[in-house]
Amino acid sequence: MTYCINPDCPHPQNPDGSEFCQTCNAKLIEKLRGRYRILQLLGQGGFGKTFLAVDEDRLGTRCVIKQFSPQLKGTKAIDKAVQLFEQEAVRLHELGEHPHIPALLAYFEQDQRLYLVQQFIEGSTLAQELAHSGAFNEQKIREVLVRLLPILKFVHDRHVIHRDITPANIIRRKLDGRLVLIDFGIAKVLTETNSVQPGTRIGTEGYAPIEQLRNGKAYPASDLYSLGATCLYLMTQVRPEELNDPLSGRWLWREHLELRGGGISQRIGEILDRMLRDLVSERYQTADEVMRDLRMALSTPAVSTSVKHSSNGNGKGAPLSMSFPLTEPPLESRPSKPRISAPPPPPSLPVSASRSPQKSSQARKCLHTLHGHTAWVISVAISPDRKTLVSGSLDDRILVWDLNTGDRLGTLTGHTKSVNALAFSLEGRLISCSDDDSIKMWRLPNGDLIRSLSGHLRDVNSVVFSPDGQFIISGSEDRTVCVWKSTTGELLQKFITPGMVRSVAISPNGQIVASGGLDNQIKLWNLVTGQQIRTLSGHQNSILSIAISPQGDRLISASKDKTIRIWQPNTGELLQTLTGHFDIVNAIAISPDGKTLISGSNDKTVKLWNLTTGELICSLNEHTHAVNAIAISSEGKLFASGSSDNTIKVWQLSV
């Protein structure tokens, strides 16, 4: 049977060998992109259809294809729909290393329609399981919480909110019985002011909290609310919106559960109650907080329920006391992505690297901890005169600090979205770049905005000055590296890259530009001619940070594959791979003498390395969340780290 992919066709099935659809007369496409053959329709929504297909180039492996064809009117609405679809592709790529999230396999355009291809998860959704086997007892509710919370921690730690957790978006994988979270179609990058147009409804009625349904705002606590609502429906088989009394503002799920002859332990009930509070501030704020209370609850056996609900929901008896590991499971490699190795689970306590530290971390003193940002700190820079520290955040602000005293000197406002990178010129001009697609130049100490540079079409992730201060180099999610004249803001050159750019760097002689991003490669460009010189390949996941040594003889890259690689930029030779971080490496910086490398990671640590030998010097463990940014002072005595714990720490580097 040949399937018609015309989104308006009411009867798309056609006999094999048909050239045109017998219903709508559209020309039939046997294989999308010459390889994907549609088998059947899985679902349909306002933005398009979802198909089950086979990939003929991969021995008939089944996959899921999402076709984008929004039934919307008006350019603005269609543009928003396109943006959401593109965001899903980006999110799936970024989250694709987790074994309980479908991997993104391809993303392409054909015949003016967009298609997204992802891993097919064979199994049943929890909604289907509920319909087939009946209400979940406490044992199965505990399993849902234990399995989903580590997935949400993984998602939230990567700055993403799912925003549509429902029983229909959780699949029990047939292969191993594990739960898989699907459909990131309305997932959103996490920011403090993350919202869409007022009145826009994001999420599913009953499962989405009030902040999503009223104005589209979403937080990690919003996903926790949705997970709690999912549990209520699975226990009671009553839609969540019918379990809430609008007059009293009370949840009535316990009453409905008792009517069905069910029951639940007090501790699990209290956890669900807190997940479902109306006020965001009264809910759990992170998955870690829920897991902490769940560990305590799991030490108590699950409550016995009526005979009707004493089975595990599939007719097979099971003991009601159940133990699950409340940690994120190891991220085993996927058959669809054999190049991704199996990383270990994140440690709950500081873990030493593969090489023994040469010196105690106590030798590197934390001189100041700076508080002022209301969201994650994702960029820091130190002025050449070693007097000023600046920090950028998801709260859209740049804060200015006295490096030596830790006093806050002022705030630079102007960006409308998160500030992703900061850099100083030798004479002290400051540049910043943002998710608002702009680059801004500032004059300190008065904080005057000198100019804004516009030309990128999407988030600008990285920005640096050339050594002589004449040029600004920027990298963006629009897959370009731009070269600007710093004195006028004129766009001089644009280098096109195959993937979104996350980091740029320039050689000390000002002749070579390096870029890295989501294509897992480093590109080297001639700044004068714009010609690509070479490509450095070896990382197994996105490259998040690049640095070139002051001597120009080493290029360092940090990646989502949890490694740091040291290259010879003139030959492209990979000299060394540093392992020791247990999670994504977000930031690196090299000391002015070229002897010390500092790295920051999602594993909450700052690590210092001997750049000559590759030995780990020490690991600093004072941040409580991911370390996103590193900057070293020009004389090499101090450095700063910015973190998702909303703080900046200033450290003594030289002893």
Which distant-in-sequence residues (6+ apart) come within 8 Å of 67 by Cβ? 5, 7, 48, 49, 50, 51, 113, 114, 115
How far CA 356 is from CA of 231, 346, 361, 615, in Å, comes to: 45, 19, 12, 8
Tell me if the pTM is above 0.75.
no
Q: What stretches of 237-369 show up as alpha helix (H) in DSSP?
A: 253-259, 266-275, 287-298
Question: Cα(first)–Cα(last) distance of the chain, in Å?
Answer: 73
Tell me the pLDDT band of 650, cut-offs 50, 70 and 90. Answer: very high
For 56-151, strand residue ranges (E) read 61-68, 104-110, 113-119, 123-125
**What pLDDT shows up at residue 336?**
30
**pLDDT value at residue 70:** 58
The answer to whether 319 and 310 have CB atoms below 8 angstroms apart is: no
Q: Say how many residues make up the chain.
A: 655
Please give the pLDDT value at position 111. Answer: 76
The number of C-alpha atoms within 13 Å of 233 and in the hemisphere containing its C-beta is 23
Of the given ranges (81-85, 224-228, 272-276, 353-357), which has the lowest mean pLDDT? 353-357
More confidently predicted of 309 and 148 = 148
Q: What element of type H or E holds 377?
A: strand 377-382
Count H helices, E strands: the chain?
A: 8, 42
Give the pLDDT band of residue 17 (cuts 50, 70, 90): confident
The residues pairing with 106 across neighbouring beta strands, listed in sequence order, are: 117
Give residue 211's pLDDT. 86
Mean pLDDT, all residues of the chain:
83
Indicate if the pLDDT at residue 8 is higher than 70: yes
Every domain of the chain and the residues it spans: 31-119, 123-309, 378-584
Q: Does residue 333 have a pLDDT over 70?
A: no
The secondary structure element, H or E, covering residue 43 is: strand 36-45
At residue 3, the pLDDT reads 80
pLDDT band at 84 (very low <50, low <70, confident <90, very high): low
Answer whether residue 378 shows pLDDT above 70.
yes
Of 411, 406, 369, 365, the closest CA to residue 392 belongs to 411
CB burial of 344-373 (b: ≥16 within 10 Å; e: otherwise) equals eebeeeeeebebebeeebeebeeebebebb
Q: How confident is the model at residue 2 (pLDDT cuts 50, 70, 90)?
A: confident
Q: Which of 58-67, 162-171, 317-326, 542-551 has the lowest mean pLDDT?
A: 317-326
Region 600-626 average pLDDT = 94
Q: What is the CATH number of domain 31-119?
A: 3.30.200.20
Inform me whether the pLDDT recorded for 451 exceeds 90: yes
Per DSSP bridges, beta strands 596-601 and 606-610 are antiparallel
Nearest in space to 85 (alpha carbons), one of 37, 123, 137, 49:
49
Residue 145 scores a pLDDT above 70: yes
- 378-584: CATH topology is Methylamine Dehydrogenase; Chain H (2.130.10)
Examine the pLDDT at 285 and tell me if it is beyond 90.
yes
Query: Fold identical between 123-309 and 378-584?
Result: no
pLDDT at 393: 94
Higher per-residue confidence, 15 vs 334: 15
Q: pLDDT by residue (tens digit) across 41-83? A: 887 765 678 889 998 887 888 999 988 765 545 566 556 656 6
Which pLDDT value is given to residue 335? 30
Name the token pair of 510: 């000002």
Cβ atoms of 202 and 250 within 8 Å: the answer is no
> How many other CB atoms are there within 10 angstroms of residue 82's CB atom?
15
CA distance 281 to 340: 38
Name the percent of the chain lying above pLDDT 70.
82
Q: How far is Cα 120 from Cα 91, in angstroms, rounded to an integer?
A: 17
Instruction: Look at residue 422 in the predicted model and tell me its pLDDT.
Output: 98
Looking at mean pLDDT, say which of 174-183, 327-336, 568-577 comes out highest.
Answer: 568-577
- Is a pLDDT exceeding 50 seen at residue 184? yes
pLDDT at 110: 78
Rg (CA), the chain: 26
Instruction: Give the confidence band of 194 by pLDDT, cuts at 50, 70, 90.
Output: very low
**Per-residue confidence band for 30, with pLDDT thresholds at 50, 70 and 90:** confident
Q: State mean pLDDT over 304-310.
A: 35
Q: What average pLDDT score do residues 521-549 get?
A: 93
- pLDDT over threshold 50, residue 356: no
Q: What is the DSSP code string of 521-574? A: EEEEEETTT--EEEEEE--SS-EEEEEE-TTSS-EEEEETTS-EEEEETTTTEE
Q: Which CATH architecture has domain 123-309?
A: Orthogonal Bundle (1.10)
Nearest to 383 by CA among 361, 364, 409: 409
- CB-based burial, 558-570: b 16+ in 10 Å, e otherwise: bbbbbbbbbbebe
For residue 337, pLDDT over 70 is answered with: no
- Using pLDDT thresholds of 50, 70 and 90, give the confidence band for residue 87: low
Specify burial of residue 421 (Cβ count, 10 A radius: 0-12, 13-18, 19+).
Answer: buried
**Where is pLDDT greater, at 321 or 489?**
489
Indicate if the pLDDT at residue 574 is higher than 80.
Answer: yes
315: region left, alpha or beta (phi > 0 left; psi from -120 to 50 alpha): left
320: pLDDT strictly greater than 50: no
Kindly state the average pLDDT of the residues 294-321.
Answer: 47
What pLDDT, on the 0 to 100 scale, is given for residue 5? Answer: 81
The answer to whether the beta carbons of residues 465 and 423 sit under 8 Å apart is yes
What's the DSSP call for residue 585? E
Of the two residues 201 and 336, the one the predictor is more confident about is 201
Catalytic residues: 164
Average the pLDDT over 393-405 and give the result: 94
Give the pLDDT band of residue 425 (cuts 50, 70, 90). very high
Distance CA 267, CA 111 (A): 55
What confidence tens digit (pLDDT) does each residue in 198-256 have? Answer: 444 567 888 999 888 877 788 999 999 999 999 999 999 999 998 987 666 789 999 88
pLDDT exceeds cutoff 60 at 523: yes
- Would the pLDDT of 360 be above 80? no
The Cβ of residue 303 has, within 10 Å, a number of other Cβ atoms equal to 17
User: pLDDT exceeding 90 applies to what percent of the chain?
Assistant: 56
CA 604 – CA 582 distance, rounded (Å):
9
Pairing of strands 179-181, 647-652: unpaired
Average pLDDT over residues 306-326: 36
User: Residue 277's CB: how many other CB atoms inside 10 A?
Assistant: 17
* Most confident of the following: 99-113, 136-150, 183-197: 136-150
Residues 266, 272, 275, 278, Cα dihedral to 10° = -90
Residue 641's beta-bridge partner residues?
Answer: 630, 649
Mean predicted confidence (pLDDT) in 83-102: 74
Q: Which residues, including other chains, have CB under 8 Å from residue 169's CB and lie 6 or more apart?
A: 125, 181, 182, 183
pLDDT of residue 580: 92
